[in-house]
Chain A
Amino acid sequence: MKTFTLILGLFASAISQLSAGSYKIEAIAVPHYVVPEVGGLGFTPEGELVVALRRHGILMAQPSEDPTDFPWRAFSTDSLHNPCGIQIISKDEIIVSQMPELTRISDTDGDGIADSYENVADSWGVSGNYHETNALVPDGEGGWYVAVGTASHNGPTFEHTRGTFEPMGRIGRNFSAVPWKGWVVHIDSEGNSTPIAGGFRAPNGIAMDQQGHIFATDNQGDWRGTSPLYHVEKGNFYGHPSSLVWDKEFTASVSVNPLQYYIDDFEQYQEDRTRAVIEFPHGFICNSPSEPHFDTTGGSFGPFAGQAFVGDIAGDRILRCMIEEVDGVLQGAVVKFIDGGIGGGTNRLAFSPDGKSLYVGQTYRGWGNLAEGLKRITFTGEMPFDLQKIALQPDGFRLTFTKQLDQESAGQLANYSAKSYWYKSHHQYGSPQMDDRELPVESVTINGNEAVLVIPGLEPDRIVELNLADTLLAEDGTPIAHGLICYTIRKLKP
């Protein structure tokens, strides 16, 4: 195992140099009196960068070309309780989800400093556990979806809890002792809350794509064989049982102890839970995914418009997700976008108004190695050679690349290999790769920037790992930048 990671490590640093020409990474200096633990990131309509920090309120700055010379100002110096989600309505009005509530922070007298902190909603409880984070995404209609995280056994619960304490929710590794921990809660513009789906563990990021689908990432652990990206739909159960103590129907008709119920009946568990759109294999792809962030730049940031970038809190990388609809469900593949060079702790992402740069907010918030700060990734305009799109076929995959393929190297079967495995989500922490099998790549057909691979024997509820060798070249001789592709098959292509 050690040598394996080592080789991957070397491979990674070599690869990151290859894509270095297309994307430039800069560290952005923050004021010296601030620890840059970024919980929320975005831009005002006027183009000012907004950074919500774990312990120094909210900073703003009009970005300058020189990353060390941003004219920082403090919109708020109130230290919010672990702010993890942000919506920037204007330079005077910002919504933040923090531990105890969703808060509207406004500057009502126009002096540039917030003076009103309105409690928009606090329908979830607070048990006194540091792990209960809240990420948000606007619903597009003046309301929000808030992804409420569960508590961790590495922290306590309090003698006096805010909200009803439920002992059956308190048991387990990660737990839901007070309401709506482990749920996505919808909050309308009036502040009325409706929990829409349970079963989450540590959903440190929720986002909406341009078609209006809601996605949330979650973190590997108990009931999470590996970290998933979910398509959030009303009424579904996303696999972490503790939160079901707040589902009256479940406790009335199935069991008052959802944890024990699913420990005892794994088959029922497999049937009841909603599968991930994409699973991020633990370790070599991702350790701790944060917010999915869709590329809305229409090409200003390079050839990945419409795709989702996902940071890794506990790894030096940013992932890229390609999602498609197959037989009525969303599923897709993950590849690395930045593999080395960004640093760990990537928590929040935001595109600059011109779409050329992706701002990266980092933190480690008490776990992982110390990694925090603010970075900026800018597209240089030089086209990278990378996988641009992947489509499942009945017997393989159609790969579309960002550049025309070199007929000779792309036509060589030896440049492709495939295998498949799955991760077991159960009460134990994480999962090894289960039933790892080589898959034969029978043929490859090249057409311009497309390669069609024939791989018989694909099965649902498994991850297919494709490896493209770095001897696979574009027509202009560039080797493939990121050749490791993991596609999660929920449904086979009919």
Chain B
Amino acid sequence: MDRSLTKSLFMFASLSVTSLSPANGDKVFASYCASCHGSDGAGLLGPNLTDPEILHGSSLPEIKAVIENGVPAKAMPAWSNILSDDEIDAVAKHVRSIMGTNLVGPNQKGKSTVTPFPEGTLDRPILLRTFMPTMGLPDSVFTHHDRGEATPKYSPSTGTFDPEETDPVVPGVPGAIAVNFGNSLSYCFDSTECRLLYAWSGPFLDMTNYWGAGEGGGRKRFAYQAEVMGPPSFITNGPPFFEGTPQFLGYKKVRGVPSFEYKCGELEVSLLIEPGSTAGEVVCTYRTNANKPLTVPLPSGEEFEIRSDQGKIRKGTLRLKAKQAQAFTLTITPRTQVR
């Protein structure tokens, strides 16, 4: 279980403390456990909890212990920092009460292996278009977006506006495309700015906010936004690479790998983004119709290093002759890997 997921679960938890009465073990289960154990507890990503005996012990104290401490090696989170003692007690009792009901889980009946945790592989990357988090991207990256504003809160029943309360805006990438090659690389490309926004390694996305848990139940959360599960290896910054308003033309699959096509003014670009040799390393292959030299302002940061197979990098700017600008490859290596 990585930090960002735990954190978001935690945020969710602190929001709901007031609304969940401790006695409602079933509600705690529905909110925190159903995404992995299924809404009826019959298993999804996590094991079926309706068997008469379970692996980590079937007594109430043993169940409480496994809920409190989790099974870090096997993706069962530790709940002691997230749920209150009363909630852990209630949900443990709920687990105890469904044990022995012997439900046939979806995995057993071969019915559905669908989870909110989509996964690709090196040979078969997967692509998702969805709302993505901004991961703290600086405003300067959103040059071709407009700025949302909080507006006065409206009461539909009276048709009036609240003098103080507002509907806030939240961070998010509206036109994102997320791609995953398994644990080695995931990244987020933006179809509005036409640029790679960030990359990470490890698990891909938690889609529960948008897809809901497994096959059913509560498929709605306010933000409907994917959650990045792995630690970021690269987050971009700085001005756009190319001048002119970007226009996204689409993408083509080259051996299953998306190659993004876009225009910036007269410049036509295709960009293929692939995993490098180490986890989180990103290899960006650009093809353009450049007929004059290009200077490309590169993102800067302590956390990653950018190399180009063409031209020269001086003071964070890549200078390419026309010929070089037609085909060049940037490799972005996370410094943590180098260390």
Point out the residues of chain A lying under 8 angstroms from B222, CB to CB: 154-156
- Determine if B112 is an interface residue (Cβ-Cβ < 8 Å): yes
What CA separation (Å) do A314 and B253 show in the bound complex?
Answer: 38
Is the pair A171, B161 in contact by a Cβ cutoff of 8 Å? yes
Is the pair B161, A128 in contact by a Cβ cutoff of 8 Å? no
Point out the residues of chain B lying under 8 angstroms from A77, CB to CB: 126
- Determine if B242 is an interface residue (Cβ-Cβ < 8 Å): no
Min Cβ gap B311→A in Å is 30
Point out the residues of chain A lying under 8 angstroms from B231, CB to CB: none
Contact segment of A96-104, A270-278, A292-300, A325-333 = A96-104
> What does the 1/0 interface line of B109-141 toward A look like (CB < 8 Å)?
011111000100000001111110010000100
Point out the residues of chain A lying under 8 angstroms from B126, CB to CB: 77-79
Min Cβ gap B254→A in Å is 8
What CA separation (Å) do A103 and B192 show in the bound complex?
Answer: 15
Q: Please report the total number of B residues contacting A with Cβ < 8 Å.
A: 56
Point out the residues of chain A lying under 8 angstroms from B223, CB to CB: 155-156
Is the pair A32, B113 in contact by a Cβ cutoff of 8 Å? yes
Is the pair A160, B114 in contact by a Cβ cutoff of 8 Å? no
Identity of the chain B residue whose Cβ is nearest the Cβ of A107 in the assembled complex: B253
By secondary structure, the B interface counts as: loop
- Determine if B302 is an interface residue (Cβ-Cβ < 8 Å): no
For chain B residues 252-271, which have a beta carbon within 8 Å of chain A? 252-253
By secondary structure, the A interface counts as: loop
Is the pair A79, B127 in contact by a Cβ cutoff of 8 Å? yes
For chain A residues 94-145, which have a beta carbon within 8 Å of chain B? 98-101, 103-104, 114-119, 122, 125-128, 130
Is the pair A161, B145 in contact by a Cβ cutoff of 8 Å? yes
Min Cβ gap A366→B in Å is 4
Is the pair B215, A161 in contact by a Cβ cutoff of 8 Å? no
- Determine if A158 is an interface residue (Cβ-Cβ < 8 Å): yes
Point out the residues of chain B lying under 8 angstroms from A173, CB to CB: 154, 156
Contact segment of B64-72, B90-98, B171-179, B286-294 = B171-179
Min Cβ gap A257→B in Å is 10
Min Cβ gap B105→A in Å is 13
- Determine if A291 is an interface residue (Cβ-Cβ < 8 Å): no
> What does the 1/0 interface line of B152-189 toward A look like (CB < 8 Å)?
10101101010000011111111100000000000000
Point out the residues of chain B lying under 8 angstroms from A161, CB to CB: 145-148, 174
- Determine if A462 is an interface residue (Cβ-Cβ < 8 Å): no
Is the pair A158, B157 in contact by a Cβ cutoff of 8 Å? no
Min Cβ gap A176→B in Å is 12
What CA separation (Å) do A69 and B129 show in the bound complex?
Answer: 30
Min Cβ gap A92→B in Å is 14
> What does the 1/0 interface line of A193-222 toward B look like (CB < 8 Å)?
000000000000000000000000000001
- Determine if A157 is an interface residue (Cβ-Cβ < 8 Å): yes
What CA separation (Å) do A365 and B161 show in the bound complex?
Answer: 30
Contact segment of A162-170, A344-352, A381-389, A436-444 = A162-170
What are 11 A-B residue pairs whose CB atoms fall within 8 Å in the complex?
Answer: A32-B110, A79-B129, A125-B146, A127-B148, A158-B173, A161-B147, A165-B149, A171-B152, A171-B161, A177-B148, A428-B156
**In the complex, given contacts A160-B171, A427-B159, what are 9 additional A-B residue pairs having Cβ atoms less than 8 angstroms apart?**
A34-B114, A54-B211, A104-B250, A116-B251, A128-B174, A160-B172, A170-B167, A171-B152, A365-B219
Across the A-B interface, give the 4 residue pairs with the lowest CB-CB distance, nearest first.
A126-B174, A160-B145, A81-B129, A118-B250
